[in-house]
Amino acid sequence: MQHRSALSPVRRILAAISGAALLTLSAPILANPQDGTNFPSLTMSSLAEPGLAVDDALTVQEIRLGPQLPGTIDLTVHSTNLWERIRNGFAMADLNDDLVLYYQQWYQNRPDALRRMVERSRPYLHYIVDELEARGMPTELALLPMVESSFNPNAYSPAHAAGLWQFIPSTGKRFNLEQNWWHDERRDIVSSTGAALDYLQAIYEMHGDWHLALASYNWGEGAVKRAIDKNESRGLPTDYPNLTMPNETRHYVPKLQALKNILGNPALIARLGLPMIPNEPYFATLETRRPMDVKTAARLANITEEEFQRLNPSHNRPVIKATTPIVIPADKLDAFRNNLQNTQAPLTQWQAYTLTAPERLDRIAANFDTTAGELARVNGLSERVRLGAGSTLLVPGSGSTASLNNLLNTSAPQQIIEPEPSTRCSKVGKGKHAVKKCSKSESRLAGRKSNKASEKTSAKDSGAHGKPSKSAARASGNSKSKTSAAKPAKGGSTKAAKSSHSKRR
């Protein structure tokens, strides 16, 4: 019997490798006897260890290749889960630092608030994702209103920023968001989303970096440009983590990254109990040919007035102008059209009323069977105001077409605020024959003086940029208060939605 080496197969393999054996593919094809599959045969070159017999070389083994995993995501497959669609569109570079970790833990430790915020995003999120994909923008930006407003369309900040995307008035005008007595498009879901994405695209093209674009959205593109120039002059990096910026802007992108980390993780979404949002349109828009009350529109759509206002938060008055786009749930569109076609009742219960003489609001309210508080709310006035002749108000009525249409064709009604009349008394005559006479006159001069005095007091208590002076801060007990940018706004609270914004948008 021929002698074979006592080396184990493993040792023979190691010995062969140490002998610089090379594994090569040769031309002959070996057939697999089991399924007929052909595989390239493997031959050995210098596989034998010196001192070993030729048949001690490695035995040829057939190796089957593992299955190839897809390297891309098939975006043509329709997902029923909007979170999955958003994850597939993530395209921004990830930010990893202590602030991201802090905010991720902060959100995860408040699952109830996070769930409320996600639930509030339900009517708007699909539309925003559609718009982002149509522009080829990263879908992480769909989460930005969570940082800006907690998805509260009526959020209003101390810097006068309004809506989901928190536009200040000047930037709103810059991006053609109409702001007048009737409505404020900064709160309009469709208009403000288009303006926000236009702005983000413009500042991304300016910087070529999404983190810097987001910093510009929060702080202002001019401020970010100056910070970049400052670093360049000092030979320092000019990316987001290395710029000197206010605390609010420093914390801004980490908040978005933390939300991206949470909502981009299916296991974490399940563990936190966050609601699934269907990947389908929530609302549709249409225009009507006639003016219509907010209450009437909600009734025709078979939804509550509260739900209608969540989708149409831009209306300042109870009457919607003709040809104004109305947003209603997509599944209520047919019902709305049918009800509108079949209704015989007037579409509005308001009319315009013009004063012929000065009158207080409570007296006007009594004439129209309403309250001064309701008239003040509808017309954006103080409850104790006294209006002059020629002032026009919205009052309850039969929806008189002529007077209402004239009012609707103006950007704002004329409302003249009259000062309260003051009584002046003086003595006429001398001694026992002196007579006290009183007359009423309007205290315009006194009113002006009091306004100037209040302006001086306000200026005295404020710094050069509108910030409270130290004395004013001590008087209010807020001299040691921390900036609100240190923590994200709590979901579900109106107070939290009023975030403090630096000079931007």
Catalytic residue ranges: 148
Whole-number Å distance between alpha carbons of 117 and 83: 15
Tokens of 172: 């709103």
CA distances to 172, 294, 300, 303, 403 from 345, in Å: 37, 14, 11, 18, 19
**Where would I find the H helices in 154-220?**
169-174, 189-207, 210-219
Q: Which residues contact 492 (CB under 8 A, 6 or more apart)?
A: 112, 113, 116, 117, 120, 150
Residues constituting the chain: 505
Sequence-ordered alpha helix ranges (H) in 243-385: 247-263, 266-272, 294-300, 305-311, 333-342, 361-367, 372-379
Q: How far apart are CA 454 and CA 321, in angstroms?
A: 38
How far, in Å, CA of 161 to CA of 169, rounded?
7
Q: 3-class SS at 230? A: helix
DSSP 93: P
| Contact predicate 89/138, CB 8 Å | yes
Q: Are 186 and 208 in contact (CB under 8 A)?
A: no
Under 8 Å CB-to-CB from 225, ≥6 apart: which residues? 206
Q: Which residue has the tokens 């979901």?
A: 491
Query: Residue 240, SS3?
Result: helix
- Which of 332, 341, 335, 329 has the alpha carbon at shortest distance from 290? 341
